């Protein structure tokens, strides 16, 4: 009887102190590519999670990997993290989230810099939850607001081209939505899908010759190749509206963008809930940056003769 009471008491104590029983955590980070937005999200994640755990007397170490912008590298880096039995995987960008989901059904996965998790994973969300071992944060700014800003800044434009990578499902999702909103405003919309770097210049030249304005969604391929895209449209004096600040800095004139560092911090808060508070990832709804910012590149706006309102924040050109 005494033994039974002892074990019952011990179990009760564990229940009371169950949050964060571990002292040291190991988190794997799989980032799709070196890129200003993705880098910021990773930094925000690490800063926030480290701070929250430190407040509880805990520590965390990070095993960081990078796919160098190659989708084929994603399964390799993810499988390496799974084999190391990390406590949680933070997958930065859609290809890494998809690879992580396919690699493990048990390790908790938190994504960031992902537009739509249903599209990325091929699942139907329930109340914003995947009901799988995956949750995270979305980098999607309201697309109807994107279109409203774009059409107000270039009111004379009637022909819009949307430039994106044909291999990125989340880009296609944005294309479909933006096209719907533009056509509702009576605009003509043409899609310019890029199959790879070999086709990039030809596709951009076609778009520059035919369209009044270009929209580039939050697309990893376009982000990686923005320095090639920029001179083509600048030379043709065609405005490029970007889906996020990193692309806008390199080749755009304006954007409605989320803050990727803040997005990473939100993901870090979710990781703390999983690791320390034992939250179930399957029951965590996808979270968003609630305060997207209007931003612009002053030099390009001046070159195009575009004036923005005072609620736009200036972006420094890299």
How many angstroms separate the CA atoms of 242 and 47, rounded? 27
107 occurs within a structural domain: yes
Asked whether residue 178 falls in the same domain as residue 218, the answer is yes
Asked whether residue 278 falls in the same domain as residue 135, the answer is yes
Eight-state DSSP code of residue 240: E
**Which residues span the domain enclosing 182?**
143-257+293-314
Q: According to the model, what pLDDT value does residue 220 have? A: 86
Asked whether residue 42 falls in the same domain as residue 99, the answer is yes
For residues 118-127, average pLDDT = 93
- Cα of first residue to Cα of last residue in the chain, in angstroms, is 72
Domain CATH number, residue 72: 3.40.50.2300
Of 169-173, 274-278, 310-314, the poorest mean pLDDT is in 169-173
- Please report, rounded to a whole number, the percentage of residues in the chain having pLDDT higher than 90: 84
How many angstroms separate the CA atoms of 36 and 258, rounded? 13
How many angstroms separate the CA atoms of 227 and 182, rounded? 27
Name residues whose C-beta falls within 8 Å of residue 300's C-beta, 6 or more positions apart in sequence. Answer: 234, 239, 252, 253, 317
Q: How many CB atoms lie within 10 A of CB 146?
A: 26
Name residues whose C-beta falls within 8 Å of residue 298's C-beta, 6 or more positions apart in sequence. Answer: 314
Asked whether residue 265 falls in the same domain as residue 248, the answer is no
Asked whether residue 101 falls in the same domain as residue 240, the answer is no
- From the CA atom positions of the chain, what is the Rg in Å? 22
Asked if residue 194 lies in contact with residue 164, where contact means CB atoms within 8 angstroms, the answer is yes
Is residue 107 very low, low, confident or very high in pLDDT (cuts 50, 70, 90)? very high
Q: Tens digit of pLDDT for each residue in 7-35?
A: 444 444 444 345 657 889 999 999 999 98
Asked whether residue 66 falls in the same domain as residue 92, the answer is yes
Asked whether residue 94 falls in the same domain as residue 213, the answer is no
For residues 41-65, average pLDDT = 98
Asked whether residue 59 falls in the same domain as residue 178, the answer is no
Q: Tens digit of pLDDT for each residue in 282-318?
A: 999 999 988 899 999 999 999 999 999 999 999 988 6
Report CA dihedral (224, 230, 231, 232) to the nearest 10 degrees: 100
Tell me how far the alpha carbon of residue 250 is from its chain's centroid: 18
Asked whether residue 123 falls in the same domain as residue 229, the answer is no
How many angstroms separate the CA atoms of 300 and 145, rounded? 21
Strands 213-216, 240-242: pairing kind: parallel
Is residue 3 very low, low, confident or very high in pLDDT (cuts 50, 70, 90)? very low
Query: Residue 1: pLDDT above 50?
Result: no
Please provide residue 192's backbone torsions phi and psi, each rounded to the nearest 5 degrees: -120, 90
12 occurs within a structural domain: no
Q: According to the model, what pLDDT value does residue 156 have? A: 95
Query: Residue 5: pLDDT above 50?
Result: no
How many angstroms separate the CA atoms of 241 and 261, rounded? 21
Asked if residue 257 lies in contact with residue 245, where contact means CB atoms within 8 angstroms, the answer is yes
Asked whether residue 163 falls in the same domain as residue 233, the answer is yes
How many angstroms separate the CA atoms of 193 and 9, rounded? 64
Report CA dihedral (225, 228, 229, 232) to the nearest 10 degrees: -170
| Count of domains for the chain | 2
- Both structure tokens of 33: 């590519």
Q: According to the model, what pLDDT value does residue 168 have? A: 87
């Amino acid at each position: 009887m005494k033994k039974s009471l002892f074990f019952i008491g011990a179990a009760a104590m564990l229940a009371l102190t169950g949050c964060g029983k571990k002292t040291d955590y190991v988190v794997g980070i799989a980032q799709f590519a070196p890129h200003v937005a993705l880098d910021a999200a990773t930094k925000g994640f690490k800063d926030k999670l480290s701070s929250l755990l430190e407040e509880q007397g805990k520590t965390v170490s990070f095993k960081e990997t990078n796919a160098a912008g190659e989708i084929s590298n994603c399964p390799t880096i993810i499988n390496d993290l799974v084999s190391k039995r990390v406590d949680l995987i933070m997958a930065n960008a859609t290809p890494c989230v998809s690879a992580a989901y396919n690699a493990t059904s048990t390790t908790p996965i938190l994504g960031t810099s992902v537009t739509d998790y249903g599209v990325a994973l091929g699942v139907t969300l329930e109340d914003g939850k995947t009901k799988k071992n995956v949750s995270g944060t979305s980098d999607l700014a309201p697309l109807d607001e994107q279109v409203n800003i774009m059409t107000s800044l270039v009111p004379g434009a009637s022909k819009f081209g949307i430039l994106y990578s044909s291999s990125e499902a989340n880009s296609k999702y944005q294309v479909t939505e933006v096209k719907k909103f533009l056509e509702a405003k009576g605009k003509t919309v043409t899609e310019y899908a890029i199959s790879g770097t070999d086709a990039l210049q030809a596709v951009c030249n076609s778009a520059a010759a035919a369209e009044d304005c270009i929209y580039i969604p939050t697309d990893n391929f376009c982000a990686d190749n923005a320095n090639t895209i920029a001179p083509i449209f600048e030379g043709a004096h065609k405005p490029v509206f970007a889906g996020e600040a990193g692309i806008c800095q390199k080749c755009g004139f304006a954007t409605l963008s989320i803050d990727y560092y803040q997005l990473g911090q939100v993901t870090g808060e979710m990781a703390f809930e999983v690791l320390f508070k034992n939250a179930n990832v399957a029951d965590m709804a996808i979270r968003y940056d609630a305060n997207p910012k209007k931003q612009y590149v002053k030099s390009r706006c001046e070159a195009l003769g575009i004036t923005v309102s005072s609620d736009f924040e200036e972006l420094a050109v890299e």
